[in-house]
Amino acid sequence: MSDFVHIERPTEQHPPVNHGPPHVEQPAKPDLEFLGLHPFVRQSVIDKIYGCIIGSALGDTIGLYTEFLPKHACETIYKEGKFRLVAPITEYYSDSHRNRFEPCAWTDDTDQALLILLSHLHNHSTTDSLAKLPQDFASRLRIWIEQGLLALGRPPCGIGALVGSVVTHTDYLKDPADMATKRWIKTARHVAPNGSLMRTHPIGVICVGLPEEEAWKIAAAVGRTTHVDPRCVVACCISVGMIRGLLRGEILTEAHMNKAIERAYTWVLSQPELMNPGLDSELTEWEVKRHLDRKEFEKHVYAKTMEELKLDNSKEMGYVYKCLGSAILVLRLGMRGAGQGQVPSQSIFEDLMTNLVMEGGDSDTNGAAAGALLGAFIGNANLPPHWAGGLAHKEWLITKVSRLNIVLGIIEGDAGDEKDEAPDGGKGLMNREELEKRDSDMLYAILSRDKERKEKAEKERRKSLGKGLAGWFKK
């Protein structure tokens, strides 16, 4: 994930007005009657839920191979344009960035999405689980920034600049959205990074039985704990709304997609507190509405090719609209490839996601957002086995998605409680000494990988030199 700024700067700045923490009312009981429309509907929805969550994790994992690289470098380094997470596993291009991550594993993008999922699982038995989701997510994010994903013992890697500046503030948990608003206003209402979009997809699953507007409200409230720019909010609402619609069988064509996109855009545009974070009365109508400029919006959500999006632009790669536009385009291409009413091919996910990450830029985040949409469309059964079969922590993730299906009422059963879904991962928070040891071990692992990279490069150089000398003596 990277941060990005993109919009005409205003000449004046005004302080925000503190209106207290965002409040989400607990929605009515979910309506899952659509599951009984046909004997195969329930099983299809279950498969698509797995496809959404696991597909996003796979997009994130494969995206790390090319993250922050320009497109030409991706083509040079990964000449075959193919990736494998099972033997023979495709090796990362070894550099100081990729050496921080364990092989075949997702990044911070999926970690943060899992904070949302784990929060809902942990609080499912309470009567106000969705109402408390934004604040509980913020609390978990505050822990993650320092401690990592404790359930899996994963250290935090890839923290975006905006998220870091917002979440680490001492007053953050008093009112997360207010702190996010203050930080955003300090950038002259300028930054619109992709850090809330990359994690929002579990909300689309959680809200599968709720009205569309309720899903938007929850997506906006959770997203605004760190990202209040209206472009970030509308991106989250579009993603969540489309995932909900894909799971319910309401989005089957591009025409359905376009209507869902426009409904979310229109709704955000109609919400004063979302369009004008802090409700600054001194802003003009133009200053408020410029963030959802129609031309800028359409350029991305209706892009026809990846080339139009320029995903590897070094100054703009973290822009939320680039991530949103590429995810929407991947879903469009997936629908075209499947054909209306046809069973999707097992190659669709691999082909489209590979093409996406080979564009470079913020490819793990683009992959996470696109993988969620495409996975919700084609289902878990159509994910490539040589990706899914090698995904680190896959069995743990499958268990959590299975529990989510029970909690949502899609699968019968008693979910109960599991310790690792608590904010501290069921292990307790690490103390200063333990954190220092973790960081020391992580640094050692990074240096070891870097040493291996240099030794391998030197070995290849000598091997190439030897071939050259052998050829000379043969002449």
Q: Please indicate if the annotation marks 47 as binding a ligand.
A: no
Give the bridge partners for 314, in sequence order. Answer: none
Per-residue HEC secondary structure of the chain comes to CCCCECCCCCCCCCCCCCCCCCCCCCCCCCCCHHHHCCCCHHHHHHHHHHHHHHHHHHHHHHHCCCCCCCHHHHHHHCCCCCCCCCCCCCCCCCCCCHHHCCCCCCCHHHHHHHHHHHHHHHHCCCCCCCCCHHHHHHHHHHHHHHHCECCCCECCCCCCHHHHHHHCCCCHHHCHHHHHHHHHHHCCCCECECCCHHHCHHHHHHCCCCCHHHHHHHHHHHHCCCCCCHHHHHHHHHHHHHHHHHHHCCCCCHHHHHHHHHHHHHHHHCCHHHHCCCCCCCCCHHHHHHHHCHHHHHHHHCCCCHHHHCCCCCCCCCEHHHHHHHHHHHHHHHHHHHCCCCCCCCHHHHHHHHHHHCCCCCHHHHHHHHHHHHHHHHCHHHCCHHHHCCCCCHHHHHHHHHHHHHHCCCCCCCCCCCHHHCCCCCCCCCCHHHHHHHHHHHHHHHHHHHHHHHHHHHHHHHHHHHHHHHHHHHC
Q: Is 136 annotated as a binding residue?
A: no
Residue type at 86 in one-letter notation: V
Dig out the tokens for 469 from the structure.
């000398």
Does 362 show up as a binding residue in the annotation?
yes
Tokens of 362: 């913020």
CA distance 213 to 295: 25
Instruction: Answer yes or no: is 90 a known binding residue.
Output: no
Cis, bond preceding 39 (omega within 30 deg of 0): no
Residues 6+ apart with CB under 8 A from 291: 7, 189, 192, 229, 230, 231, 275
Taking alpha carbons only, the member of 238, 244, 258 closest to residue 197 is 238
CA distance 18 to 48: 40
Q: Which of 309, 426, 316, 314 lies closest to 356 in space, CA to CA?
A: 309
Q: Is 109 annotated as a binding residue?
A: yes
Residue 344 near residue 365, CB atoms below 8 Å: no
Is 280 annotated in a binding site? The answer is no
Detail the residues annotated as belonging to a binding site for Mg(2+).
107-109, 362, 364-365
Detail the residues annotated as belonging to a binding site.
107-109, 362, 364-365
